[in-house]
């Protein structure tokens, strides 16, 4: 099938390549002309035969809103817009209603996979009407990992991004647990090789995971994380998860604590946040701050 893809950054650029490898046609647009296939959103729409599917992969908030506003005027009845960024689920409901005024369908898609998705595939959590999801299904099939898992039609509009938000909240808590354990191991005299303790957990233990593998990768690069500053940003989804828990009276003590721990990294250099920063860089290519920068 044909797909328009808006936003060709670290995630979007690799997604374009993976979809093309599956045999589909992708017309990509980015503000950076060096990576863009076309010069404008209007040209992207013109190059697609109707009914069109346009996937938006830009930062949440104002960039997504302005892109959808422009597409609303460019697309026609029967077309479908997919928001694959990290938008808040309440924005999805708003965007779906705005596009529906023109007869344009809307699907929200939470995407997980980071910089590894090109080779490993992307876990996809999708929300929207059955007919709109079905239109995009060949692209979902191209992006997802091989095998039976890694894709879910989670429910109606907003369900995809809500599911991805909860996924990221869990990720916060898991990373925090690894970071706390690492700091405690580093603090005692009796443990002389913390990196190898972490490596030993990669097989046969109940806490083995891809995040643990990435932690070992980070320690192989910098055994005591001496090169990193103990600072880790929060992307917004951790906050949204805690806000949703409050709204629904669901207790989230571990996830909430892990969010507040990120705030501690705004203060003095935090050993735990070195590990959090290292993990975020490993799986998502997120920027880290070195000690030399401060």
Catalytic residue list = 164, 171
- Tell me the Ramachandran region of residue 150: left when phi exceeds 0, alpha when psi lies from -120 to 50, beta otherwise: left
What distance in Å separates the CA atoms of residue 48 and residue 117, rounded to the nearest whole number? 25
Q: Looking at the DSSP assignment, which residues form a beta bridge with residue 54?
A: 4, 81
Q: Where are the alpha helices (DSSP H) in the chain?
A: 10-21, 41-47, 62-74, 89-100, 117-120, 130-143, 159-187, 194-200, 210-221, 237-247, 253-264, 271-284
Closest by CA to 130, choosing from 161, 153, 163, is 153
Q: Is 11 exposed, middle or buried (0-12, 13-18, 19+ CB in 10 A)?
A: buried
Q: Length of the chain, please?
A: 294
Tell how strand 105-112 and strand 123-127 pair up.
antiparallel
What distance in Å separates the CA atoms of residue 204 and residue 226, rounded to the nearest whole number? 29
């Amino acid at each position: 099938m044909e797909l328009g893809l808006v936003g060709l950054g670290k995630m979007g650029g690799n997604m374009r390549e993976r979809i093309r490898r599956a045999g589909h046609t992708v017309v990509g647009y980015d503000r950076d002309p060096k990576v863009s296939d076309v010069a404008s959103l209007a040209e992207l729409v013109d190059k697609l035969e109707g009914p069109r599917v346009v996937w938006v992969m830009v930062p949440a908030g104002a960039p997504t809103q302005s892109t959808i506003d422009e597409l609303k005027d460019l697309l026609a009845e029967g077309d479908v817009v997919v928001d694959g960024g990290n938008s808040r689920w309440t924005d999805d409901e708003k965007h779906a209603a705005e596009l529906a005024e023109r007869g344009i369908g809307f699907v929200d898609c939470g995407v997980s996979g980071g910089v590894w998705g090109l080779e490993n595939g992307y876990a996809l959590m999708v929300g929207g009407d059955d007919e709109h999801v079905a239109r995009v299904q060949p692209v979902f099939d191209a992006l997802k990992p091989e095998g039976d898992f890694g894709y879910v039609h989670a429910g109606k509009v907003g369900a995809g991004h809500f599911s991805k938000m909860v996924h990221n909240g869990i990720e916060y808590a898991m990373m925090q647990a690894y970071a706390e354990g690492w700091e405690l191991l580093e603090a005692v005299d009796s443990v002389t090789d913390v990196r190898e303790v972490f490596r030993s957990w990669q097989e046969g233990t109940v806490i083995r995971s891809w995040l643990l593998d990435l932690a070992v990768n980070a320690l192989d690069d910098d055994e005591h994380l001496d090169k990193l500053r103990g600072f880790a940003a929060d992307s917004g989804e951790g906050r949204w998860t805690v806000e949703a828990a409050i709204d629904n009276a669901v207790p989230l003590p571990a996830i909430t604590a892990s969010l507040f721990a990120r705030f501690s990294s705004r203060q003095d250099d935090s050993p735990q946040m070195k590990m959090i920063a290292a993990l975020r860089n490993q799986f998502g290519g997120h920027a880290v701050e070195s000690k030399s920068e401060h």
